[in-house]
Each structure stands twice: as structure tokens, then as C-alpha cells.
Structure 1
Amino acid sequence: MARIAGLFGRVEPRATARAYLLGLLSGTERKNCWQPAEHAGRHRPGPMQRLLRTARWDTAAARDEVRRYVVDHLGTCDGVLIVDETGFLKKGRGSAGVQRQYTGTAGRIENSQVGVFLAYASSRGRALIDRRLYLPEHTWSKDAERRRRTGVPEDVVFATKPRLALQMITAALDAGVGTSWVTGDEAYGQDPGLRAGLEAREVSYVLAVSCATRVRINQGRTLIRADEAADRLPASAWQRQSAGSGAKGPRYYDWAWVQNGTDEHRHLLVRRNPTTSELAFYLCWSPRIVPLSELVRVAGIRWCIEECFQAAKGQVGLDHYQVRNWTAWHRHVTLAMFALAFLAVATDDARPTRPADPNRPARSGEPVDLTVPEIRRLIGALLSPPVTSLNALLHWSNWRRSHQASARRSHYRRRLAIPSST
């Protein structure tokens, strides 16, 4: 809290922000202002709701502090920036940026919001360091009334997801984040503007692309599909290397690379699953000559942002919010990112000083290193308030049921006011 305390002009929102962060780190089932307020011993969630919606504090500066905090504690020379998106499933149409759209969270088209995120990953840990709420072009960017109702700033214009990713990467580089590599999935690798922007900043990349991507191999002039280029590779071109350690040990794949065009700094990287023979493809560029093992390392680290999403949603309530306003979304997500960063740093601090061998199985009776979920359980237990009194429990039960009754009456009035279609 000391890192962001100066962003609050008054003591009340500052204290509420601390209580909110403790609520995110607690073991409460839902982290949506109601239960964190009850956890903090408050009589109502109003102050926490005002913290997200109307209180005066600099959300962008808080985001910048998250980024500094992560780099200060987890930054290393092997750090990689990772871009990806995640969906937030919604029921109504009133939340900023919501519409029926594809989200990987559900694996299909659903009514949802989509956030584009930037993560930093190194040998010491990983955490989310930036976020952008995607605003669909036709249903939101040009609908002035919907924008006004949800508080979307006038200067926010439509930007594709790769464009949002490049904005976050540029901001991180301008802020002094030391990194040589960027990686992301097909949604970002297929965008030539993102690749050109990274090359202009001389930032290396390993970006996934589809099998239909056209490349030039053997310095040829003819463009061919990436999967066709993989079919032409001789057996000697494949090398089995680990893409990093997973939950079940090293993740071994067969890898091959081929120069893309006449530029020795550009390559097509191909990954083959040794069991299923499934192929994955990556476009790679670096201003310096790098070995295959370095490209494999960067390609394998992309999964870290999926781990960040899982931890952020499962441990600190990234998707537990019940807000519709543009500012409130960014404030909740920023505080959740800070809580996750705190857990990532605490996990790194708790690691033993002895060098770890990822290929050595644990000895009988030897525990694994502390993880983010376990650190969250310990922190939540240590910082939990005393057992709540019976009066407090009944007060919150009555408050919730009264609020639900009021919401029900509002819904009934709205439904009854709509003329029947028959």
C-alpha cells in the first residue's frame, strides 16, 4: 500500500483501497465489493463501490506502479513480455464494451467483455502489468449514448486488439522495462502492424501464426504456406528440446526452424508434438543472431500468461466484479493485478536460496516450493479479522436480502412497463 498511498488525496479512499486489497487476498467466495466489505467489518459496501466508481484517485498511475513493482522484484535479463486476451462473461448489455463476441474463456461466441493484457515473465516469476478493455467498433465505438451511460472517455477510439497490445508494449518500453522479447498467440502474430511496430523498436519477437501463413524458404522468391514449408523439412532438421517445465515436468517437443526470405534475422519456427504430430508455427525476428534454443525458450514461455489469468481469476477475483462503468472496470482490474503481483513477489521471496533442478523429482516427504495459491491461503489466514460476531453476520444477511428485494421490485416494474407483444 505504501507504493500507491500517495495516489489518494483523502484518508477514507486510501483506507478503503487497503481493505479492498485485503479482501481480494482473502478466502472470500466472491470478491465483488459485498463480501470484501463484510470481510473488512464494514456495515455496507457503499465505500468500496465509490472507490471503484467515483472516488478521486489516479488509476493510470496505479497501473504504472504495478508495472514498476513487478519489474523491481521479478525483473531479470531474460524477461519476456507476453500479450493475450481473456473474456469476462456477462448477462446484460449495460457493461462497457459488452457484446456477443468470441472469447477463449468460453471457447465460443458469448455475451462478454474482452480485456487485452500484458504480462511480464522471467525466471523469477510472472504477473500481469497492463490492461486494456476492448471496445467493439460497431456496437460501441460509434454509439454515443451507450458510451455516455458507461462513462467511456471521449478520447477513447476503436483500436484492434493487436493495436491495444502494441500500445501496452510501447508504454512498458517507454517506462524502462528491460526486455528483448515479445511473444503472443495467433491473434497477435497474424497482425503485420504489431510485428512492424516491434521491429521499429528493435524488440525481438516469437509470435504464433496460422498454418496458412505465407513464407519464403531457402531464399526463394515464391511464397508458400507454413505447413507446406514444414512438410519439405528433412528429418535431420528436427531437434527435441524442452519448452520449459510444466506441472508434470519438462515439456518436450520437436522443433525445426528455417530462414524466412533472404534476411537471416527472420525465421519460421515449427513445433511438432511428438505424440500427436500436431504442428504449431511461429514467425520470429531478432536484430541479432540467436540460436534455436532461444527461440524455443521464448515460444514456451507464452503459457505463463494463461497461468496469470488462472491465478488472477481463481485467487484474487479478477472476474468477480459487478460493475458496468469504464472507470470502475479498470480500477477493479488494476487492484486485482496488484494483488496478484504481490502474491507473485511473495512466492519468489519464499523460494529456497539453493539452486533448483527442475528435472529432479522431489524426494519422499519433501514438499514442493510455495505456490501462488498457497501463499494466498497463508496471507488470507494471517490478515483475516477476528471471527465475525453473530450480529454482524445477521446484519449482512439482512442487507443482502433487502438489496435483492429492491432489485427484484425494480425488475418487476421494468417488465410490467413493457407492453406485451401479443
Structure 2
Amino acid sequence: GTQPLPPKPWSGRGRPPSRVRRQAEHAPVSAKELAQALPEDAWHMVTWREGSKASLASRFAAVRVRPAHRDYWRSVPHAEEWFLIEWPDGEVEPTKYWLSTLPGKTKLAGLVDQAKMRWRIERDYQELKQEIGLGHYEGRGWRGFHHHATLAIAAYGFLVSERSLIPPSAPRLAPLLKPPALSEGYRPRGAAAAPRTPRRQLHRHHPD
């Protein structure tokens, strides 16, 4: 398919046309038709994470498209987006499709990683509810839930960082978990202030 045509030229009478047009040669195609029309060299094997028994990998392709959903009500076409397709070997047709607004220079591996992030998010949410107690909140106010969720997520983040230091995760993830640098003049909450000299001019933090 190709993008819709611009609005009709104004005839000089009535309201100027403002909606894009569709014609036979400017009609959208289905996701399946577009995927099946891609050449063989558009497909690549991508591994996105380690599974319990083996690495998880499949065949993917990505192209830039303009979504056609109700574009006939618009004055300009939709902006370009990534169209990611998964077509595993042995399947007769593609099995999954995604639309993504990630930047146009995003690599295929990055698109796949973001698309497959859903499984990790669902697992994290399940562990937050079952192991940390995110689902134990019984209040009705937003502030109370916000505080409860913040503490639960902070605790879960600490556990994940500790777990990543244990093999087999340690060799791959440990270099990525560097402690953040402390800002100049940082003082832990509750710590006493640094002693000051009787004369301000002799204090080491004095601007002069």
C-alpha cells in the first residue's frame, strides 16, 4: 500500500476539502499482506534473552509504515512508525505484530527487546505482588497507595540488584550495576552537619 493522497484541490466554491483521500492505487494493506510481501533478506534471527533451557530467538523483520486507522478523517496522514513482525521458522504465517513509535534509527535488536519486555514486566509485577506485598494495600487514598507502591518497588529493586550479583547473572550484569556517584556536599539524612570554624573566612567551604 501507499500513503493516502492529499485533499482534493479546492474548486473555489464551498468549504475547501481538508481530508486525505483513498483510491485503488492508494489503499492500505493488511499487516499480514505486508509481512508476506517482504523479501527474504528482510528477515533476521534475533535472540532477546536467556530462557530456562536455551536462548529465546525467532525470526523478525521491521519496516517503517504509516498506520491507516481512520486516516480518512484526517487532514494529514499518520506519522511514520515501526512495524515489527515475528515469523518463526516452521510457521505458515507471521504470529505476532507490533507498532512502535521508537526513533527511526532504532536497531532491529532494540525493537525486539522492547517488544519482548512485556514478559519481564508481567513477571516483575507478579513478584511484586507475591513476594514484596504490593497487593497487600487495603487503603482507599492515593497518597497511601503511592507511598506503599514506592516502598515496594524500592525493595524489589534492591532484591533484583542483589540477585544479579549471583551466578549465572553475575558475569553479564555485574559490570552494569555501578554505584551512582555522590553529588558534592552530599550528606546522608539525619547526619550531623560538618563543624564550622568560629570565623567564616577560615571555613574551608567559604567561597573566598
State whether structure 2 residue 94 is matched by structure 1 residue 289. no
State whether structure 2 residue 149 is matched by structure 1 residue 333. yes
Q: Distance in 1 between matches of 2:41 and 2:168?
A: 41
2:140 is aligned to 324
- CA deviations on 1:205-249 (whole Å, 9 max, x unpaired) are xxxxxxxxxxxxxxx843222222123223443222212223333
1:150 is aligned to none
Q: Distance in 2 between matches of 1:300 and 1:273?
A: 14
SS at match of 1:305: helix
Give the aligned residue type for 1:292.
Answer: L
1:280 to 90, 96, 113: 96
2:62 to 247, 254, 257: 257
Matches within 5 A, 1:7-406: 221-261=26-66, 266-274=81-89, 277=93, 279-287=95-103, 289-350=105-166, 355-356=171-172
The answer (yes or no) to whether the contact 2:61–2:85 under 8 Å persists in 1 is: yes
- Decide whether aligned partners of structure 1 residues 287 and 327 sit closer, same or farther in structure 2, where only a CA change above 3 A counts: closer
Q: Distance in 2 between matches of 1:230 and 1:322?
A: 47
Q: Distance in 2 between matches of 1:285 and 1:221?
A: 23
- Decide whether aligned partners of structure 1 residues 234 and 292 sit closer, same or farther in structure 2, where only a CA change above 3 A counts: same
- CA deviations on 1:111-148 (whole Å, 9 max, x unpaired) are xxxxxxxxxxxxxxxxxxxxxxxxxxxxxxxxxxxxxx
SS at match of 2:137: coil
- Decide whether aligned partners of structure 1 residues 354 and 330 sit closer, same or farther in structure 2, where only a CA change above 3 A counts: closer
1:343, distance to aligned residue in structure 2 (A): 0.7
- TM-score by length of structure 2 reads 0.53
The answer (yes or no) to whether the contact 2:44–2:59 under 8 Å persists in 1 is: yes
1:286, distance to aligned residue in structure 2 (A): 4.2
Q: Which runs of 4+ in 1 moved over 6 A?
A: none
SS at match of 1:244: strand
1:316, distance to aligned residue in structure 2 (A): 0.6
Greater helix fraction, Structure 1 or Structure 2: 1
Larger-gyration structure (1/2): 2
Q: Distance in 2 between matches of 1:356 and 1:249?
A: 16
SS at match of 1:224: coil
- Decide whether aligned partners of structure 1 residues 290 and 339 sit closer, same or farther in structure 2, where only a CA change above 3 A counts: closer
1:350, distance to aligned residue in structure 2 (A): 4.2
- TM-score by length of structure 1 reads 0.28
1:356, distance to aligned residue in structure 2 (A): 4.2
1:255, distance to aligned residue in structure 2 (A): 0.6
Q: Which has the higher contact order (CA 8 A, sep 6+)?
A: 1
Greater strand fraction, Structure 1 or Structure 2: 1
- Decide whether aligned partners of structure 1 residues 291 and 337 sit closer, same or farther in structure 2, where only a CA change above 3 A counts: closer
Q: Which runs of 5+ in 2 are unaligned?
A: 1-24, 67-76, 174-208
1:329, distance to aligned residue in structure 2 (A): 2.4
- CA deviations on 1:379-404 (whole Å, 9 max, x unpaired) are xxxxxxxxxxxxxxxxxxxxxxxxxx
Identity of aligned residues (%): 29
Q: Distance in 2 between matches of 1:356 and 1:308?
A: 20
Q: Distance in 2 between matches of 1:352 and 1:237?
A: 34
* Number of aligned residue pairs: 139
Give the aligned residue type for 2:158.
Answer: F
Q: Which runs of 5+ in 1 are unaligned?
A: 1-219, 358-422
SS at match of 1:289: coil
The answer (yes or no) to whether the contact 2:82–2:104 under 8 Å persists in 1 is: no
Q: Distance in 2 between matches of 1:246 and 1:353?
A: 12
The answer (yes or no) to whether the contact 2:164–2:170 under 8 Å persists in 1 is: no
